[in-house]
Amino acid sequence: MDYLAGLNPSQRAAVEQTEGPVMIVAGAGSGKTRVITFRVAHLIRKGVDPFHILVLTFTNKAAKEMRERIMSVVGQEAKNIWMGTFHSVFARILRVEAELIGYPRNFTIYDTDDTKSLIRAILKEMNLDDKLYNANHVYGRISSAKNNLISPQEYNKNEAIMAEDIANGRPQMGQIYMTYAQRCYRAGAMDFDDLLFKTNVLLNKYPEVLHKYQHQFKYLMVDEYQDTNFSQYLIVKRLAAVNENICVVGDDAQSIYAFRGANIQNILNFQKDYPDVQIFKLEQNYRSTKMIVNAANSVIEKNQNQLEKNVFSENEDGEKIKVARAFSDNEEGKIVAEAITQERALKNLRYKDFAILYRTNAQSRAMEEALRKINVPYKLYGGTSFYQRKEIKDLIAYFRLTFNPNDEEALKRVINYPRRGIGDTTVEKILVAADQQQYRLWDVVVNAHTFLDGRSANAVGNFGLMIQSFQAVAKTNSAFDTAMHIAQHSGILKDLYEDKSVEGLSRYENIQELLNGIKEFSEREDIEERGLDVFMQDIALLTNDDNDKDPNADTVSMMTIHASKGLEFPVVFIVGLEENLFPSQLSLNSRSELEEERRLFYVAVTRAEKKLHLSYATSRYRWGTLNNCEPSRFLDELNPACLELDFKPRSTAMETGGSFQSERMAWKQKDTESYSKPKPKIVKTTSILPKAHVPTPGFAPSDTSVLQVGMEVEHERFGFGKVVNLEGNRPDIKATIFFKELGQKQLLLKFAKLRIVQ
């Protein structure tokens, strides 16, 4: 039994308890995977046939890693374990039993794209408005119904559900679900949700099948049990009902997928389902320093709805958690990029030792731009590079077309997006006409009635007129006003706003973030030309980045906190710690929602091994208007003894270890009026950052031709600073200045307006 020698007492006890219901509460970094794999290996060493062991995971990667570890202990017998994701294991069972529920054994499995394509076809056949009945929304509604085991028939009989659809202006949703299910059945196809839904139907409707698998799987283990939904919960409960040799592993403090249907009550109520359960708590964190573990504990203890545990670390004490305050998201990106460069040099680290975590994908823009400016390589995980996302490329295609109507790739991309009745057949006719006449596509578009007939000619002609109107607007308006006009009048904003799915909301936020970036660009003081066409040139350079090509490259990792679960990094930056961003404004309606946000923050904090950085911005653009931001309540909830501030607090209370509540109050007192007035969604003004400096009376810019490194200067907005570097040739000399309040900034001298103090 020497293979158990490396386990601590709690881990070993959990491994050796093989009979009866067992719950292993595994704190962050406590060796959960190690315990699961050794427990399965221990069962086999005790003589349990691996064919009688079922292990359910949430990712194929986790299953593969566990099987390899088990194989290192018990050899080839590990191949006989029933191990995999919920979907893969139950698809395997359905292949055997499918004919009982009217499906062929070789049924097709529809992926998300197949599902949405079928939904769009049904919407078209039913003559329904595809904006009101958005395919993503319909898909989400059907998926939610299946995960709650609501069949099409039950859906259409449920008065509450039908009333909700009517209230939302979608009375045909039940009929769409019914038709969708019928079409899948007729095609001999199941979607991902069906793999669980149909398994429940099978086990419920055919007792002999349930009996067969209850005796097949004498030992069940479920990883990440806190992430199971109602459908998964019922399958597991039914299969374990005879032997009750069920072991669930998870951490309620890391339950962060409620938006996918995960139900934290499954793990919280496990003891009620199995009163004789034996509970083992893995509380020693092997991953992080004592400082990081103590900070994480100080936050998660604020949640009322949780299993009691005391996570601790016997690692080194570690450095305090650094908290940085920025005046904008762009400055926040710069602070993070510079910190990575400094720590990498000082501590001899690799880029892959660093991770930047954020609440929403849209936040990656400022981080990406800051890293690119100082040539720090990075890779985005669980998402696409900001400027490569479809919705961003769509809007940028409109920008490109506005300034160069002969850009054929841009034209083909957006001529029918959002949909305006220009189908593939019409586009093909445009291509043929242009080819035959040796014209450009744009020439055919603006002369549509010469080459096309009827409604097609009108639709194409109107598209051409719209682009020409954008060109007129661009000649007389700022970059931001032009971009906002195009976003609104192209229909992109409306199309994305009406998509209320999680994905749709994310896409809408990304468009907002692009417009925020254009707003900041249009207000820059260090460049002379600030038109949208100049911004487009900058974007063209940014999007040529190649750093994603090598998966093993030494790159900084960037991802949402949701995507970071299960990962760990020596140094972690958590950015955007502001009220209404993290915690999200959408999560402040109930205690359960707020507690999930707090668990999400806990997950983020516990990704760090050696060093943790936190940051927030005091202002952030929203639809072109600069809004003041308050520090997140989660900063308040951290033990102040674990924190080190990288800035001078506005409130004297903060200087003596007070809370961020005092920082928020100081900010509110400073700008009460901006908080009390409601903000319009779109305001065409030239809002600027709140002034951090009152210029010296009689302030007047000096002749900067005599400026030298080491001189002290005053900027009317940024305050007093010291010149640390000068580069370039006249008249384009750039000065790097360290400002006392803001940190390091780079300014073009011919625009900087500096007063030389010394």
- Give me the mean pLDDT over the 330-354 stretch: 94
- The answer to whether 9-99+197-282 and 321-384+546-645 have equal CATH topology is yes
State the Cα–Cα distance between residues 209 and 118, nearest whole angstrom.
31
- Is 250 marked within a binding site? no
What is the structure's pLDDT at 540? 55
Q: Is the pLDDT of residue 648 over 90?
A: no
Report residue 664's pLDDT band, with 50, 70 and 90 as the boundaries. Answer: low
- Chain centre distance of CA 408: 33
Q: Is 459 annotated as a binding residue?
A: no
The Cα 746–Cα 727 span in angstroms is 10
Q: Catalytic pick from 17, 18, 33, 744?
A: 33
d(CA 231, CA 339): 45
Mean pLDDT, the chain, rounded, equals 85
CA dihedral for 494, 498, 499, 505, sign (positive or negative):
positive
Please indicate whether residue 416 or residue 504 has the higher confidence score (pLDDT).
Answer: 416
- Among 198-207, 305-314, 559-568, 745-754, top mean pLDDT goes to 198-207
383 annotated to bind ligand: no
pLDDT-derived band at 361 (thresholds 50, 70, 90) equals confident
CATH of domain 691-757: 2.40.10
Note if 223 is an active site residue: yes
pLDDT band at residue 249 using 50, 70 and 90 as cut-offs? very high
- C-alpha closest to that of 130 among 208, 450, 122: 122
For the cut 80, the answer to whether the pLDDT of residue 230 exceeds it is yes
By CB atoms closer than 10 A (0-12, 13-18, 19+), residue 408 is middle
Q: 108-187 domain in CATH 1.10.10? A: yes
Q: Give the SS3 label for residue 716.
A: coil
Give strand pairing partners of 559: 357
Place of tokens 């904006």: 131
Looking at per-residue confidence, does 86 or 605 come out higher? 605
Give the pLDDT mean for 268-282.
Answer: 92
450 is annotated as an active-site residue? no
Report the amino acid identity of residue 184: C
pLDDT tens string 156-176: 999 999 998 898 889 999 999
* Residues 52, 58, 60, 61, CA torsion sign: negative
From 97, 224, 332, 597, the catalytic residue = 224
Q: Which of 508-522, 574-588, 593-607, 682-696 has the lowest mean pLDDT?
A: 682-696
pLDDT, average across residues 501-515: 85
Q: Crossing angle of helices 9-16/32-45, nearest 10°? A: 40
Is residue 578 pLDDT above 90, yes or no?
yes
**What is the band of 258 on the pLDDT scale with cuts at 50, 70, 90?**
confident
Predicted local confidence at residue 550, as pLDDT: 53
Between 21-25, 142-146, 719-723, the lowest mean confidence (pLDDT) is in 719-723
Identify the active-site residue in 12, 32, 365, 610. 32
26 labelled binding-site residue: yes
Q: How many CB atoms lie within 10 A of CB 520?
A: 18
Please state, in angstroms and rounded to a whole number, the distance separating the CA atoms of residues 481 and 493: 14
Amino acid at 138: V
Q: State the Cα–Cα distance between residues 645 and 667, nearest whole angstrom.
A: 16
CATH of domain 388-528: 1.10.486.10
Quick check: pTM over 0.75?
A: no
Pick the more confident residue, 5 or 292.
Answer: 292
Tell me the CATH number of domain 9-99+197-282, given options 3.40.50.300, 3.40.50.2020, 3.60.10.10, 3.30.70.270.
3.40.50.300
Q: What is the pLDDT averaged over residues 485-505? A: 88
pLDDT of 670 above 60: no
Q: Identify which of 160-169, 199-208, 357-366, 506-515 has the greatest average pLDDT.
A: 199-208
The answer to whether 174 is annotated as binding is no
Instruction: Please name the helix (run of DSSP H) or strand (run of DSSP E) that holds residue 268, with its range, or none.
Output: helix 265-268
Q: Yes or no: say if 701 and 755 are a contact pair by the CB < 8 Å rule.
A: yes
Q: Helix axis angle, 532-542 relative to 479-489, nearest 10°?
A: 80
Instruction: Give the fold, CATH level 3, of 321-384+546-645.
Output: Rossmann fold (3.40.50)
607 is catalytic: yes
Q: How large is the average pLDDT for residues 74-88? A: 87
pLDDT in tens, 516-564: 888 888 887 766 677 887 787 666 545 433 334 455 778 999 999 998 9
Q: 3-state class of 736 per DSSP?
A: strand
Based on the number of CB atoms within 10 Å of its own CB, is 50 exposed (0-12), middle (13-18) or buried (19 or more)?
buried
461 is in an annotated binding site: no
| pLDDT of 318 over the 90 cut | yes
* pLDDT single digits (tens) 563-574: 898 889 999 999
Which residues on neighbouring strands pair with residue 715, listed in sequence order? 719, 754
30 among annotated binding-site residues: yes
Higher pLDDT: 542 or 722? It is 722
Percentage of the chain lying above the pLDDT 90 cut: 45
Coil vs helix vs strand at 723: strand
Annotated ligand binding at 91? The verdict is: no
Among 607, 610, 611, 633, the active-site one is 607
Q: For residue range 88-106, what is the model confidence (pLDDT) as tens digits?
A: 889 889 888 989 999 887 7
Sheet holding 378-380, edge to edge: 378-380, 556-560, 354-358, 569-574, 608-617, 321-326, 643-645
What residue spans define the domains of the chain? 9-99+197-282, 108-187, 321-384+546-645, 388-528, 691-757
Tens digits of per-residue pLDDT, 98-137? Answer: 899 998 877 777 777 778 888 988 898 899 988 889 888 8
